[in-house]
Structures are given as C-alpha cells and as structure tokens.
Amino acid sequence: MPFGILVADSVDTDAAFLLWSERYTRSNEIRTDGYQIEFWTNAGYSTIIQPEDSLAATYTLREDTSIGDRSTAIAEGRYELSGCDEEPFEINGTPADVEIEILQAP
C-alpha cells in the first residue's frame, strides 16, 4: 500500500473523513470490519518515488467509514490530506500540498 491510510481533515471545521481503499482489507497491518478500520500497525507507510517514476492508488469517498473510535463524515469544504495518525502527507520526506475540495452537486 504505497500511501498508507489517508484521512482528509477540514481546513475550516472539525470535520474529517477517511479515504477508503480496498487495499485496507487485504493488508496484514490493518484490521477492518466492513468499511471501518479497527486496528493498524505501520500505518505510516513509506515509499520512495524517483523523479522519473509514477505511482497511483485508488481511494473512494464513502459516508460509512470510520477509523478507530473516530467517526468520519463528508461535508462541503476544503480538506488537507494527512495520515491516520494526523501526520502530514509527504512525498520523499517533504510535506506535499494536497488539498481536496468537496462541493454540493447542483
């Protein structure tokens, strides 16, 4: 799992939500129940990316996710990406400026 467990934390409120990956269910370091992450170890995965390389992973937004005792909810607003332990998302050891914006559909 190249990016570990990812959480989007609101820039303006206490809102946060888990970015869900099916890889969570196949990981030996993560215990899941449905779309809930109950336990994890080594969650701060580290992957070195060379300048000529690319790396992709698919995450989905779901209303029914939670991590530990922290329920998550998707609401309109701007979010910053972090790890499950609220560590900043980094690329090759440098904090990455990744922002997600959720808008209500017209």
pLDDT digits (tens, 9 = 90+) for 34-68: 998 888 886 556 667 788 888 888 888 888 888 77
Instruction: Please state, in angstroms and as integers, the Cα–Cα distance from residue 10 to each residue in 18, 30, 35, 46, 106, following that order.
Output: 12, 24, 21, 24, 22
CA angle 81, 84, 86 (to 5 degrees): 65
Say whether pTM exceeds 0.75: yes
Contact between 82 and 89 under an 8 Å Cβ cutoff? The reply is: yes
- Of residues 85 and 11, more confidently modeled: 11
